[in-house]
Structure 1
Amino acid sequence: MISFRQTLALKAVVVMICCLPLGLLAQSDTTAINTMSENDSAQTIYPLIFYKIKKSGSTASASVVPGTSIRHTPVMSFPAGLAGQLPGLKINQTNGQPLNEGISMLLRGRSPLVLIDGIPRSITEIGIEEIESVTVLKDAVALAMLGVRGAGGAISVVTKKGAPMKSEINFSGQWGTQQPTQNLIGNPLDAYQYALLYNEALKNDGLSVANNGFSDAAIQAYKDGSDPYLYPNVNWRDEVTRKSAPVARYNINARGGNEFFKYFVNLEHFNQDGFFKTDNSNNYSTNAGAKGYFVRSNVDVKITDRLDGGIYIMGRIMDLNAPGSDGANNIFQAILNTPASAYPIRNPNGSFGGSSRFQNNILGQSQYSGYFIGHTRTVLTDFYLRRDLDDVLPGLWAKARVSFFSDMRENYTRSKTFAVFQIMNNDANTPVYGQYGTNSEQGNSNAVSFQNRSNFQEFSIGYSRNKGLHDLDLLLLANRDNLIAGSNLKLTVQGISAHASYMYDKRFIAEFAGAYNGANRYPSDGGFKYGLFPSIGLGWNLHNESFLKNKNWLNELKVHGSYGMSGLDNGSYFTYIQSYNNAPTTYFGTSATSTTTIAESFLANPNITYEKAKMLNIGFDSRFLNNRLSFDVDYYFNKYSDLSIIRGTNSGTLGIAYPNENIGKQHNSGIEAVLGWKETRGKFGYSVAINAAIQQTNLVYNGEPAQIYEWMQRTGHPVGLTYGYVAEGLYQTQAELDSRATTEGYIPQLGDIKFKDLNNDGAINQYDMTIIGSEKPSVLLGANLGLQWSRFDLSTLLVAELNRQVYPSGNSYREFLEGVGQAFEVHLDRWTPANPNASYPRLTTNGGPFNGEFNNAATNSFWLRNGNFLRVRSLELGYSIPASILNRIKLKSTRVFVNGYNLFSLSSKTFNGADPENYRGLYPIQKVVSFGIHVKL
């Protein structure tokens, strides 16, 4: 067991590192942080990750955020609450549909592994209130024990545990209203404006308006609304979506124990409604909502004086609801694709409007095509036994633990079809309808969309000794993780790992860590391929040196560095085995004799292996002025090799796809910094914590074929850049058209985008394509600001991304796609002879000899948009009710609060009001305003 002195130091370090405004809130909000190290040390519970949290005696690069900082985030997936709070961690959310948020995580440019209580897990939806802390592990020392799973970094979630304390019951409730952030680039045009622009585009394409466009009478009818059935003007977004929807969370948990028995029990419910309108005549919901129920029971028992044990159980039930079989995102895409003039909502006889081109009425699609339900059921169970071996050697201990995980989702689809009708007047001007599609009874089907199972076993033995000037921690463990996804064969990752930490006189630190492990999907004896992943870290606590030790202004000053190797198991499903399948029937001779042949399913790669990373990290941590001022900086340089990629020189002449090969090389580097200040004076307190990360990538090798011109090369440039033509404005005069380089396969027109002839050969073709995106490093920023006065507290979290570019395209930005798609306000500022300084090229319907499809639609820099943004991720105002009032009703503490989530965003005007994260027209991200209460009994 670690000493009491170490425990106190651990508590202080964790609180200092966090430096978040919520640390200034009521005592009820900070209890979880203060008791983190009292629950049984992280060392004894989680030997795989304990040394990353013990930052005062470690050289590892790790950042910690307490669970209290994401407690009131109205989401089910906890990573959404981490945006902007941890340096180097980038959270993207491209979708707002409940349980389908499209959340992705990048840690120093790579996808991290998720650990829950030290065990790799594939889930991110857990009860927010059960989270004690979240730690990001970023350097070689912090990741070495993960071995073949560590190259992408890790996000370690520690759940709350019981503590020797009087039983405590907490209840929290949060009720809010969510509204969609803007999810379209500009607003769709009404029918009148659409018709005018469509006719203009036809003329630009050299097509006949009389045969293909809108007549003058039709345009006038769209303008005055005189015949809404023949000439409809429908705002589909307003017709099928609501302005707001409710969201709620309820939680109750109990915590307590004594030296023999400790427990934490949690029950949480989350309910998020969707933005679609529904019809009360349906006896089922067609909205896009989700409900989640989370249960956790963490129990630790002292079985004997030297033997401890624990059982941690987590269960979750999540239900996703969506309209019809098309799904929520398809409905929003239909809104983007369908012009206001396409068809009426309903015809005079009450039937659904439609046409030969638009045979899926959006109202019918959202409310009358049935419904979809996805049931997810998860059970997770951890067991451990820990034996104190002080009777053998003081400071020695051993621990065994096993874990079982089962996750399944079953989908129920209750779909039906409906007919749409188009009015076609006869000579007597009596409505005659043309029918498209048919009405059907509801069809019922169900299927298991995924089913994951895993079992995990680990045995560890450790030694901890603090004697005089020497502090020594040793750890050796062996573990095995068996994963089964659906019908796939078992994936097993197993091996041994070790960690040694030595600190002399609280000044000098040396750490050694490593793993020897591997997975079973590689071509070797027994199917396992193992690798050795060593690391070393050195640190120096300068504040404990005699020349700095008694300086009142200095509390901590540590420099540290680490270097080592990690790996990533990125092998495909037994791709080293050549497999064959039935090929199409082949006919021979004049009698057409047929035979069935076989062909390779894919080209096998017998040399496949795991990816590797050499990781360097140098940093320093500092605390000044009674811990009021803090400043931490890290520099990293990671070399990734043996990346699994498809060779860039592959050719279709082979007749089969090239396999993934371990030939890729990439470098990631950057600087991360955290600056914090916190101070309390009487009843007033405030805090500021700003984190910044500058990230740069470089593609070193990807098997790229030799390029004729150096500007065509990907190698040597940042990863993920956009390649295309360099735009030089719009053609304004015939003289420009005549004098500039010709475009192969297309004759440009006035108002088209003109491209730069990079090789000056007089032709625009593939040899003129180059990098059109910025090569500047990406910058991630986060700021936590907090104020407290008496019983009031105010906190806010700001998130920003700089040097970010996006390429909007498709139905969310281009006009008249497929010849009949929607058009938007941005298209009003299109090029015409009277508007030569337009922000948009001439319009085209993508038809006719001058449609512009091979010119304007080509990937080019004209369409790149500044993707920088600043978002107010959260804003919260709270009030703690005085104890004099609470004592009368036997309550320990009560805090009420009102908060906002995704309240406001600042982004470039070139985005035209679109959400900076969800700009492709998918289900909108929510901004939420809610009221809540937290009661401690």
Structure 2
Amino acid sequence: MRLLIIMLCISVGCISAANTYAQNTILELNVENQTVESVLNKIEAQTEFMFFYNSKQVDVHRRVSITANKQNVFKILDELFKNTDVAYSVLDKSIILSNKQLLKTENQKKITGKVVDVNGEPIIGATVAVRGATVGTVSDIDGNFVLYVEAGKEVWLDVSYIGYKKQEIKTDGNKPLAITLIENMAMLDEVVVVGYGVQKKVNLTGSVATVSFGKEMNSRPLTNVSSALSGMVPGLNVRQSSGTPGADGASLTLRGASLNGGSPYVLIDGMPGDLNQISPNDIENISVLKDAASAAIYGNKAANGVILITTKSGVSNSGKISFEYNGNVGFSKPTNLFDVISDTPDHMTVINNILKNSGQSARYTTEIEEWREGSKTDPLRYPNTNWWDALIKDNVIQTHQFSARGNNGKISFYTSVNYQDNNGLIPNSSYQSTTFRNNIEYKVNDWLKLGNIMTSMYGKNDPADLGAAFTWFMATTPGMVPQSPDGRYGGAQTVGESGANNLLQIVEWNRGSKEKRRFTTKFFAELTPAKGWKINANYYRDFYSYYESYVVDQQPRWNFQTNTMTFTGVDTSQGYRRQNTEGKADNYNMNVFSSYTKKLKEHEFSLMLGYEQGVDVGKGFSNLRQGLYSPEVPNATASGDLLSGANHNEDAYQSVFSRLNYNLADRYLFELNWRVDGSSRFAEGHRWGHFPSVSLAWRVSEEKFWRSMRKYVENFKLRASYGALGNNNVGLYATKEIYNSANTAFGDKVQAGIVPGGFVNNELTWEKTRVLDIGVDINFLKNFSLSVDFYNKETLNILTSRPISYNNGTSSGPVINGPKVRNRGVEFELNYTGQIAQGLGLQVSLNGALNQNKVTEYQGKDKLIQGGGTPYGYIVEGQPIGKFYIMKVDHIVQSKDEIDAMSADGYRFGLGGIPGPGDFLFSDTYGDKRINENDRVLIGNPQPKFTFGANVGLNYKNIDFNVLFSGVLGWDRYINNQFTSLSAHTVGYLYPKEFLNMYTDEKPSKDYPKVYTNNSKNQVSVGSTWHLHKADYMRIKTIQIGYTLPANISRKIFMDKLRVYANLENFFTITSYPGLDPEIAGDIDYPLLKTASIGINISF
């Protein structure tokens, strides 16, 4: 800002009157034994003067006494620096202090130079210091500087100025230096992408977070964009729910959950999109719009926030085409796996204990010891299979990208090709994709620009049924050979477990492929009919298709003890099955908007008006042919039974939007947004919604009274916003009569007919979210920045299904506008960039968000409605969404006498029956000595209370190091699947190792209860705190070290830059959660991956 003020003076001809203000300004000072710095601050406080100096060259800690009675600044400075080596020069309201240069001696040489910005304008007050010495100066009014150093050797100069990147220059002083400082986009003049435009960060009135994709981000082995956002944005909870190749299964929640779910609205270069369709290497930066003021311009799409992705473009104006290659290869393993019993004798022992706990006889006697001995010499007949080892294979992930970019002043372009190959963690699950992107812009003349953004993507998956593989993971036994040396699949060889599945066979029995294609294109034009007036027009088209074709080829399974088949494979009388599925989507969007900006002295106005419309069309077709004679039949049109289905749907919307900005002297900022949306999902009379927002900001640091503080706090801004956002997240035809086909019996015949498809509510209208946000942005001590936001987000008229009585034939009633949910919290982001030692740079970014989620209105205060997306989760007024409503476990009963004593004391046991030794004793929370439904309690935190992230970077010369952390606190998860249930199957199931410590009559336990056969004891199937676990975690997302070849060497091999790096992704997680991974959506799913990779980045 100081530089801008000085440049403004120069531009309006203030140089000719440089001393006018200084001569006419009269000061009064009475200072006794105070520092020079204190005197300078007093002068700045009384006047509009600003001092520039190098504290290493000007002793501002020297104590002085000075009295001035109605004197100008010249006389005061003469007195202040009398008999010192300090000189001063006055440029209107700027005063530069520097060392008086002594006459050159035989042992000194003179270094001269000029410091300018990228436009060639001189930078006044830039610090020029000799590295490792106390010699230095500042640039003068023309950007020139002079200093003297020891003769006969080269020196390094560090040249710096607030708001610019520091330059390091080596010189021998033989010729004048021309030094150009480049603006630091991380500082005050950073431009941020917002809805339908850009704004300077210092002038933002809303809450916007930005993520820049620098070398560390582009070097990570990222297969999706959501991984790049994890831990980087305060308030954005990124949950990687699966590691499935080719799928970005992450769920993104911004500022708390709502009953209607939903993720932030994603736009890529202004076009609607999703995080799956873009390569992380193509991204320049991401803006996350979090409050109503910044997101309301997108109205009906923005209830859950907005993510704006800007891709790379041609940046240089030199006419030179630059090329870049990024490549890395990584090796992956699961972040965590369950510990399972893979020793078959132990497995048999557990089954015996479960049967005995259930009042049945032991199944295995001599078989246990026989198996133990036999496995030592004949593992084919007596296997001890660890199914994780059988399924998990070496997973290699590699990505390669080649890009070119250029700009000759007329044509700017960026082109890239990205290839990804992931061979999958388990067999038959590989994924390959190729993405092509071309961004081009043509400047026709001074008032017209045309352009096109195009992407094309092709992806192919192997057809393994990954869901079945992990859903059925527990449905097997260690007493089975996955596959024999001659290629035959094994079957269960333990007594009573003939129903066990061969997991390797399951993932390999689908033969075929899944293919997907996507093509998006955007044509745009920008007109500038007059100064300050712009018209933008955009047309966007998105084509997506997928095709899946596979045959189910079930091979026989063998018992290698008897050399007989336990499963014969495909029933030849039924034949083989081939499944074909095809889907297509064709979405278009067009918008046109016009903006006008006018500045009158200190008043700047900006007005934007626009119109948008779009249609999304989807259709699909599937057929299943049964009874094929061979798995080699290539299509489903051959003979056999045919089952088919099809669908077609459309969704349309229209919008009008506007924005008004007012800026008074860069101090007082005002913004008003208004959007009107219409949606085809609602009935006539209810289709249109209005979504306004207003925001204000005060840049306190631009006030006159703040001048003395600018040395410490360069920017201090207060802001506040309030507005409404919309949501139409309801079925496409929820307000229309829908009929489904059905068959019914008339007499002795079956007749085809139709039945109503569900309840209809023609009064449905927009769900709304109202957000109040109060924030502060601070840049201080040159190297630090801090942003803090307090928000209150209330979602009302939530679109949700009303629960009804089963007497109506279903428990799901019509969709209504009803409940209210409130999310209230605070977010912060603290950044530091600077040097902590000579040549050692440090960058630190810390962020966190504390959120309180509460259902404020839903079906009455005393109603408990099951829901919220969690087992035993309920929606209750006054509680967070999905609060667990379960029994509290007091302890594990150790003797029958304990229960007898309680019964004698009047206790009665209803829920789960009477507990015995080894069973849970539930707490009598109601206090009536009756253990029943009334003792359930609302407990736990189904929504994370606190999310956080930290990014630390170090760089020394050509070496860089980066660590990224992320995590959550205050989160509970309920685990109760067949793998962890205390009501277990005994006919072919794996067991966790904890079952070895279960309570038995022979070996009592206070830590692990009795386990029973499936459904044989109601008590263990009751939802309880035993299954509720802390899911807090901290994960080191990335550890990366890189080395960049010195430029003088890389140029000799015809490269502008060559960087190599090594990276660890998701390698370390701190958590007490006993499940597969706290981020995984289900209890058992495709595991998250930890990846070690190496890579190279080449520019030429």
Summarize the alignment of residues 925-936 of structure 1 with structure 2, pairs less than 5 Å apart.
925-936=1088-1099
CA shift in 2, pair 1:74/1:385, >3 Å: same
| TM-aligned CA deviation for residue 922 of structure 1 | 1.7
C-alpha displacement at 1:818, in angstroms?
3.1
1:107 is aligned, of 254, 270, 278, to 254
Aligned with residue 291 of structure 2, among 124, 139, 158 = 139
Equivalent in the alignment of 2:204: 58
1:492 is matched with 652
Amino acid of the structure 2 residue aligned with 1:237: W
User: Take 2:265 and 2:918, find their aligned partners in 1: how far apart are those partners?
Assistant: 49
Residue equivalent to 2:138: none
Distance in 2, matches of 1:359 and 1:842, equals 23
- Judge conservation of contact 2:880–2:941 (CA < 8 Å) in 1: no
Equivalent of 1:235, from 386, 407, 429? 386
Write the letter of the residue equivalent to 2:785. Answer: S
Among 1008, 1016, 1019, the alignment partner of 1:840 is: 1008
Deviations 1:786-811 (A, max 9, x none): 11111111011011111111112213
State the 1:354 CA deviation: 4.0
1:310 alignment counterpart: 451
Show the counterpart of 1:215. Answer: 365
Q: Pairwise mapping of residues 156-175 of structure 1 onto structure 2 (< 5 A)?
A: 156-163=308-315, 164-165=317-318, 166-175=320-329
Match of residue 899 from structure 1: 1063
- Counterpart amino acid of 1:376? K
Q: In 2, distance between residues paired with 1:708 and 1:306? A: 62
1:694 is the counterpart of 2:694: no
The answer to whether the 8 Å contact 2:875/2:883 transfers is no
5 Å matches for 1:417-816? 417-422=554-559, 434-438=566-570, 445=578, 447-486=580-619, 487-524=647-684, 529-550=687-708, 551-586=710-745, 598-626=754-782, 628-648=783-803, 650-656=804-810, 657-680=812-835, 681-703=837-859, 706-707=862-863, 714-738=876-900, 739=902, 740-744=907-911, 746-774=913-941, 778-814=945-981
Structure 1 residue 459: Cα displacement = 0.7
1:886 aligns with one of 1042, 1047, 1050 = 1050
Q: Distance in 1 between matches of 2:860 and 2:965?
A: 40
The Cα shift of 1:887 comes to: 1.9
CA distance in 1, matches of 2:167, 2:895: 65
Q: Secondary structure of 2:798's match?
A: strand
Matched residues in 2 for 1:316 and 1:344: separation? 37
Contact 2:727-2:766 at 8 Å conserved across structures: yes
Q: Is the 8 A contact 1:424 1:433 kept in 2?
A: no
Q: For residue 859 of structure 1, what is the aligned residue in structure 2?
A: 1023
Letter in 1 for 2:591: E
1 CA distance for matches of 2:575 and 2:894?
A: 57
Q: Deviations over 1:72-123 (max 9, x none)?
A: 2323321121100111111111211102352111111242111111222245
Distance in structure 2 (CA, Å) of the matches to 1:34 and 1:405: 37
Question: How many angstroms apart in 2 are the aligned matches of 1:433 and 1:446?
Answer: 27
Residue ranges of structure 2 left out of the alignment (5+ in a row)? 9-116, 120-164, 170-181, 258-262, 620-646, 866-872
- For the residue of structure 2 that corresponds to 1:303, the secondary structure is strand
Where 1:523 maps in the other structure, the secondary structure is coil
Give the Cα separation in 2 of the matches to 1:636 and 1:510: 19
1:227 Cα deviation (Å)? 5.8
Partner of 2:534: 397
Separation (CA, whole Å) in 2 of partners of 1:301 and 1:35: 27
CA offset digits 1:177-219 (Å, max 9, x no partner):
11222132x333411111111101111100122xxx1123344
SS at match of 1:389: strand
Partner of 2:28: none
Match of 1:382 among 522, 539, 550: 522
Structure 2 CA distance for partners of 1:548 and 1:443, relative to 1, 3 Å: farther
Which SS does the other structure have where 2:479 is aligned? coil
Query: Structure 1: how far apart are the matches of 2:305 and 2:700?
Result: 28
Q: Distance in 1 between matches of 2:760 and 2:1077?
A: 45
SS at match of 2:797: strand
Partner in structure 2 of residue 292 of structure 1: 433
Quick one: distance in 2 between partners of 1:124 and 1:442?
38
Aligned-partner residue type, residue 271 of structure 2:
I
Give the number of aligned pairs: 873
Task: Provide, for residues 831-859 of structure 1, a one-character-per-residue CA deviation record: whole Å limited to 9, x for no partner.
Answer: 24565554321122225xxx33x222221
Q: Please give the alpha-carbon distance, in whole angstroms, between the structure 2 residues aligned to 1:757 and 1:576.
A: 47
Given candidates 210, 234, 242, the residue that maps to 1:87 is: 234
Q: Distance in 2 between matches of 1:698 and 1:50?
A: 35
Equivalence for 1:14: none
User: Does the 8 Å CA contact 1:795/1:877 hold for their aligned counterparts?
Assistant: yes
SS at match of 2:1023: coil
Distance 1:370 1:596, change over 3 A: closer
Q: CA 1:894–1:466 in structure 2 vs 1: closer, same or farther (change >3 Å)? A: farther
Q: Residues 599 and 351 (structure 1 numbering): CA distance in 2 closer, same or farther, change over 3 Å?
A: closer
Greater gyration radius: 2
* Partner-residue secondary structure (3-state), 1:658: strand
CA change 1:328–1:513 in 2 (3 A) is: same
- Residue 330, structure 1, aligned to residue 490, structure 2: no
Whole-angstrom distance in 2 between the partners of 1:572 and 1:540: 43
**Which residue matches 2:349?**
196
CA distance in 2, matches of 1:582, 1:123: 37
Distance in 2 between residues matched to 1:776 and 1:42, nearest whole Å:
34
Deviation (angstroms), 1:231: 4.2
Counterparts of 1:260-299 in structure 2, within 5 Å, are 260-277=410-427, 287-299=428-440
1:84–1:781 Cα contact (<8 Å) kept: yes
Instruction: Give the secondary structure class of the aligned counterpart of 1:810.
Output: coil
Q: Which residue of structure 1 lines up, in the alignment, with residue 73 of structure 2?
A: none
Q: Which amino acid aligns with 1:758?
A: T
Spell out the pairing of 1:149-160 with structure 2 (5 A cutoff): 149-160=301-312
- What is the deviation of 1:644? 1.1
Distance across 2 between alignment mates of 1:371 and 1:712:
42
Kindly indicate whether the alpha-carbon contact (under 8 Å) linking 2:982 and 2:1010 is maintained by their aligned counterparts in 1. no
Q: Sort the Cα spacing of 1:349 and 1:935 in 2 relative to 1 into closer, same or farther, 3 A.
A: closer
- Aligned in 2, Cα 1:518/1:817: closer, same or farther, shift over 3 Å? farther
- 1:624-643 alpha-carbon deviations (Å, 9 max, x no partner): 111x0111100110110111
Alpha carbons 1:190, 1:234 under 8 Å: kept: yes
Deviations, residues 540-565 of structure 1 (Å, cap 9, x unaligned): 00110111134211111101010011
The reply to whether residue 339 of structure 1 matches residue 472 of structure 2 is no
Q: Give TM-score, length-normalised by structure 2.
A: 0.75
CA distance in 2, matches of 1:595, 1:364: 41
The whole-number CA distance in structure 2 between the counterparts of 1:488 and 1:921 is 33
- Deviation per CA, 1:27-58, whole angstroms, max 9, x where unpaired? 9xxxxx98999xxx989xx883425x532112
Which residues of 2 match residues 819-834 of structure 1 at below 5 A?
819-820=986-987, 821-832=989-1000
Q: Tell me: CA distance 1:837–1:354, structure 2 relative to 1, closer, same or farther (3 Å).
A: closer
**CA offsets per residue over residues 226-267 of structure 1, 9 Å max, x none?**
66455432222212321x321111111111112211111111
Bigger relative CO (Cα 8 Å, ≥ 6 apart): 1
